[in-house]
Structure 1
Amino acid sequence: MAEKLLVRALKGGKSTKIVTLNGKNMTKMPSMLENLPGLKTLDLQNNRIPKVCPEISTLTQFQDLKLMEFYCEGNPLFLKQPVNAVKHKDIWSLQEITSRFIMNQLAEKDPFLMQAIEWYPQVRNIISQGRKCAICGKSFLTTWLECVEFFPPSKNWKISRNLQLVPLRILICSYKCFNQRDPNLFGIAQV
């Protein structure tokens, strides 16, 4: 059945705007979608697709697609399995320690550092890449841990009614902050 729908969509060529393959027991994304440059909505909900096809993930052949809507809920695209983090002592480089000190002092409006930073454009460039820790709110330069928090989507978003939680990327500065996190905040690990 899914094959017939795909063949019909491919016959439409550039004029095909919507492809709906909802609940068709598919186990992989159809890579033929690259032949539909006018595609605006792709619905692959409630299938058994375990990963995004390379054409979509690397955007090598899908760069001309201008999808406005992409529905993939109900597929096992990623696992939510908690993994214990290895406890490492935070060992920062001298540049990281100095950058954290300078960024946090600038946040407190230290007049000496605010004036001195004007004389050193290289330092300004380095600390301009700093981020704020989602737990303690202090500045850091290099990412210690990338996390994700799932939250309910805004009612203004145009999304599937089945979507109940959306992942939000959170950056944390140290293992100390990671231990103080909310229980709904998960570290991202390569397995």
Structure 2
Amino acid sequence: MAERLLIRALKGGKYTKIVTLNEKKVTKMPSVLERLPGLKTLDLQNNLIPKVCPEISTLTQFQGLKLKEFYCEGNPLFLKQPVNAVKQEDVWSLQETASRFIMNQLAAKNPFLMQAIKWYPQVRSILSQGRKCAICGKYFLTTWLECVKFFPPSKNWKISRNLQFVPLRVLICSYKCFNQRDPNLFGIAQV
């Protein structure tokens, strides 16, 4: 069934605007998608696709093409098995230690540092790259751990009805904070 729909889409060539292959038990993204430069909507929901194929990048706006909608909910695109992290002590560089101290003192409105920072534009430039830890709320310069938290989308968003959770990127400053995270926060690791 999916093959017939793809053949029909290919016959349309550059005039094919929509390809819908939801709930067709498709196990991989069709590589022929790159031959549809006019494609605007691709619906691959509720299939068995384990990864995004490289051909999909040729359809994105980054390549100057016009894919506007891409639906892939209900596919096993993410490995959902927890992996234990290796416990390690945090050893920061001198720049990281000093940056954390200064950024947190500036956040606390330390008048001496607030006055002194005006005279050092290079330091201001470095500190402007700092982030706030999602767990403890303190500032840090170097990303210790990138995590993801899944939350339900807002009711007024225009999204697929099947989308139950949206991933949000979360940065954490240390292993100590990572151990204090809520159970809905996951570390991102390459395995």
Query: Given the alignment of the two structures, is residue 89 of structure 1 paired with residue 107 of structure 2, yes or no?
Result: no
Give 5+ residue unaligned stretches, structure 1.
none
User: Structure 2 CA distance, aligned partners of 1:60 and 1:32?
Assistant: 11
Q: 1:49 — aligned with what? A: 49
User: Structure 1 CA distance, aligned partners of 2:58 and 2:38?
Assistant: 17
With 112-121 and 84-93 compared, the bigger mean Cα shift is at 112-121
Structure 2: which amino acid aligns with 1:32? Answer: V
Q: Secondary structure at the match of 2:113?
A: helix
Structure 2 CA distance for partners of 1:61 and 1:40, relative to 1, 3 Å: closer
Q: Secondary structure at the match of 2:100?
A: helix
TM-superposed deviation, 1:34? 2.1
Contact kept, 8 Å, 1:34 with 1:65, in 2: the verdict is no
Structure 2: which amino acid aligns with 1:103? Answer: M
Structure 2: which amino acid aligns with 1:23? Answer: E
Q: Secondary structure at the match of 2:89?
A: coil
Equivalent pairs counted in the alignment come to 189
Give 5+ residue unaligned stretches, structure 2.
none
Q: 1:130 — aligned with what? A: 130
Q: 2:26 — aligned with what? A: 26
Structure 2: which amino acid aligns with 1:15? Answer: Y
User: Structure 1 CA distance, aligned partners of 2:86 and 2:121?
Assistant: 38
TM-superposed deviation, 1:89? 0.5
Q: Secondary structure at the match of 1:160?
A: coil
TM-score, normalization by structure 2: 0.92
Structure 1: which amino acid aligns with 2:101? Answer: F
Q: Secondary structure at the match of 2:149?
A: strand
Q: Secondary structure at the match of 1:163?
A: coil
CA-to-partner distance for each residue in 1:141-184, whole Å, 9 max, x for gaps?
A: 11111111111111122222121111111110011111111111
CA-to-partner distance for each residue in 1:44-84, whole Å, 9 max, x for gaps?
A: 0111111100123xx35641333222111121111111111
Structure 2: which amino acid aligns with 1:118? Answer: K
In the TM superposition, what are the counterparts of 1:135-150 in structure 2 within 5 Å? Answer: 135-150=135-150
User: Structure 2 CA distance, aligned partners of 1:11 and 1:87?
Assistant: 55
Structure 2 CA distance for partners of 1:61 and 1:159, relative to 1, 3 Å: closer
Q: 1:8 — aligned with what? A: 8
Kindly, what percent of the aligned residue pairs are identical?
Answer: 85
User: Structure 2 CA distance, aligned partners of 1:13 and 1:129?
Assistant: 46
Q: 1:112 — aligned with what? A: 112
Pairwise CA RMSD: 1.5
Q: Secondary structure at the match of 2:55?
A: helix
